Structures are given as C-alpha cells and as structure tokens.
Amino acid sequence: MSVIRKIVFVVLFLAVAVGSFCGITTIAGRIGNRGSGERAVAQEKSATASPTPTTSGSQPLLDRTGDSDVALRDDVAITDLAEKALSSIVQVVSEVTRTDIFGRPTQGTSQGSGIILSQDENLIYVATNYHVIEAADSVTVIFPDGSDVRFTVRGSDEVGDLAILTAPRASIPEAAAASYRVAELAADKDPAVGEMVIAVGNALGYGTSVTVGFVSAVEREVLSENGTAQYLIQTDAAINPGNSGGALINLKGEVIGINSAKYTAEAVEGMGFAIPIAQALPILNELSRAESFPKEEAGYLGVYITTVTSEMETYYGWPKGVYVNSVIPGGSAEAAGILPGDIILAVNDIRVMENSQLTGRVTSYRSGTEIRLRISRISDGERTEIELPVTLMDKTRMPED
C-alpha cells in the first residue's frame, strides 16, 4: 500500500505542476497580447491624430486644405492676402551714374520696391527706402500690370532710410491705373512677437514675390553702415536685395513695416528687418510736403549736442534723445528759449534719438521755416516735457562759433 500511495502522490504532484505551468504560460500570453493590442491602438491613434497645434476650445491655427493651400483662421488664405498685397506693391528702378576707379562715369541700375501710399486729385505717392533711390539720375516705377512710369523724388530722409516718389495721375496708363490699389496701413497697431507676417517685394530684381514668416522681435536696435541706430521689426520672413521699400503685412493685409535689405548680412540667416510703419508714417507725411531747395538754404538750430546713450539713461534717468550741451548765442535755439541741459525728443512729432537724426531732420527744412521741438527739461527737480516753436536760420546768418 505504501508503494501505491507513493505512486499516486507523484502522479498528483506532476499533474499540479504541469497545470500551474500551463496556467502561467496562458496568463503571460494574454498579458503580451494585451500590450501588443494597446501599442497597436496607440499607433493607430497616433497615425490618425492631427499634428496641427490647437488652442483650447478653438479651431486649429492652421488647417491644411490641399497640397499647396494653407487656410488661416477666419478663412483667410495666404493666397488671398498675397494677391491683395501685390496690388499695392510696385518695382522701383533707379538709373545711377557712378565713377569707376579711373574716374570715368559709368551708368548703373539700382532695383528695389515701393508701396503705393496714397493719391490725391493730382498725384500718386509711392514710399520706398532712401538707399533705393540714392544718387539716382532718374526713377522708374513698374506697376503690377507691367506698365512703367517715370516718377520724381519728392523728398528723402537718409537717416530714416525713407523716400517719397510722386507722379501725376494723368501720366498713369489706364491699364496700370486699373491694376493697383492704395495700401492699407496699420499705423495705430503695434506688431506682436510671434505674429505671422508676409513680406512682399521685388526680390533680386526678378519681380514681385511673397515670403512668409513671423515677427521675431520689435524695436530691435540695429546700426547702419554709418553708425546710425534704427529701431526695427525683426522677422524671419526672407528679405533680400530688391525687397527694400516693399511691405511687411499682417494677416489682415495691412502694412506694418517697410522692408529694408540694407540691414541684412550674408553670414546671417532668418533675420530680416522692416521699418515700423508707425515710425515711418510721420516722416513720409513730412516728405510728401517737402520742397526742394539748395543745400546752402537749409535751416540750422545753433546747438552743440550729444546723443543720450543707454548708460546715460540708466545712470541719470534721462529719456532717450539728444542732449543740449550748449547753445550758440544769437542762434535759432537761443531765440526759441532752448537751454543747456534740455533733451530734444522730437521734431514736428518725429522722434529723434541721436545727433545725426536731429541734424538730418532740421536741415530737411528751408531756413525761415518754423518747426516744433518736443523737449525734456528739468523743472523743480523733475523732468517734464514741453513744446517750443523754433524759426530756423540759414548757416550764413548763424553767429560765428
């Protein structure tokens, strides 16, 4: 009996062991299959989920509507914006006489862009960069339909890198007149970092084209070749030679800046710059009313000045502007009541932040012209802003230093 009991015990033991092994194997298999199933479901969800970023409770920022079409919020398409913008952009071709290394005159061409800024009963006004028309013998504007018309430089500002071109409306061919529209300006709106923008212009002289990007920075201080500071919009929308004078527009089709390839460099990618339209418009309005006069008839202020640097702003608490070191006795400034220690902030509401900007603004007016200066002055131990009218003298009437 003991032998039989031992045999039965061994058989039962083996049965339990085999059953346990099979159970474990079955459970493990189910666990493995469940994991594979979950991974498969996750992969399927991943494959079907939209990669487009969304805002909580709102529609996608971008909806892809086709292989080459991207529609924006509120059903605004880049193609529609581009078509709208292109109708207010022109090509600007300047004929320039230069001198070669042997002193011989040579003919050259400068190409850029322009924005149809406004028109009245008699004239059409086109805004562009100063460096596009600098030293030009003649300037031709090419309209969206391909018609070319000779324009005149009405006024220019080297410091602000801006110029106004005009032509009689009667000189515009009928086809050209039907092809353009006056640009819409966002002069009362500040661009925001991260805002999508479109750059339009005559890149490399190939004709008007469109690039898309975002506002990377605002009020970016950039120095020109002559050391003049400009406070510009920085964008990663491509801005190349020929784009200068073209428009940087927002998603409403409004011009927020005037592109300038003057501030680009070959070693830099993804950094284009535009002059804010709110900064440019007061200057352009002044230039549109400008009159031509000989250089010797330019107005003079009669002050010795210093640019207020960032260090001075921090150390003394001064506003950014032009500090008056001293006033020439008998000059325009003294007659107007300008004092040493004053800081000149603006000329006719156009902001000035350094010496060359103040000098450039003042000498753009003929002597005898009355201008308005906005000044920061110490009063009762505190700085306050005042406005002073100043009648400019010409250099020959200014007292000797």
Among 254, 288, 322, where does a domain finish? 288
Give the total number of structural domains in the chain. 3
- pLDDT per residue over 66-93, tens digit each? 333 333 445 456 778 878 888 999 999 9
Q: How confident is the model over 10-31, as pLDDT tens digits?
A: 445 555 454 544 443 443 343 3
Residue 77 included in any domain: no
pLDDT of 354: 82
Asked, for residue 25, whether it belongs to a domain, the answer is: no
- pLDDT for 295 equals 81
Do 118 and 134 lie in one domain? The reply is yes
Evaluate whether residue 137 is within a structural domain: yes
Task: Please check whether residue 107 lies inside any domain of the structure.
Answer: yes
Mean pLDDT score, 99-117? 85
Least confident of 20-29, 122-131, 234-243: 20-29
* Per-residue confidence (pLDDT) for residue 227, from 0 to 100: 62
**DSSP per-residue codes, 245-291:** T-EEE-TTS-EEEEE-GGG--TT--S-EEEEEHHHHHHHHHHHHT--
Of the candidate ranges 146-150, 223-227, 246-250, 291-295, the one whose mean pLDDT is the lowest: 223-227
Q: How far is it, in rounded angstroms, from Cα 263 to Cα 273?
A: 7
Q: Report the chain's mean pLDDT, rounded to a whole number.
A: 78
Rounded Cα–Cα distance for residues 62 and 251 (Å): 13
The string of pLDDT tens digits covering residues 317-329 is 999 899 999 999 9
pLDDT, residue 9, reads 53
Pick the last residue of a domain from 179, 213, 244.
Answer: 179
- The predicted model gives 181-198 an average pLDDT of 87
**CATH number of the domain bearing residue 134:** 2.40.10.10
CA distance 215 to 19: 70
pLDDT of residue 228: 67
Residue 44 scores a pLDDT above 50: no
Q: Is the pLDDT of residue 338 over 50?
A: yes
Domain assignment of residue 151, yes or no: yes
**Does the residue 361 lie in any domain?**
yes
pLDDT at 76: 57
Classify residue 116: in a domain, yes or no. Answer: yes
Task: Judge if 151 and 230 occupy the same domain.
Answer: no
* Same-domain check for residues 261 and 214: yes
CATH number, position 312: 2.30.42.10
Please identify every residue annotated as catalytic: 131, 161, 244
Residue in 304, 334, 299, 298 with CA at minimum distance from that of residue 322: 304
Give the domain extent around 224.
196-288
Could you tell me if residue 306 is inside a domain?
Answer: yes
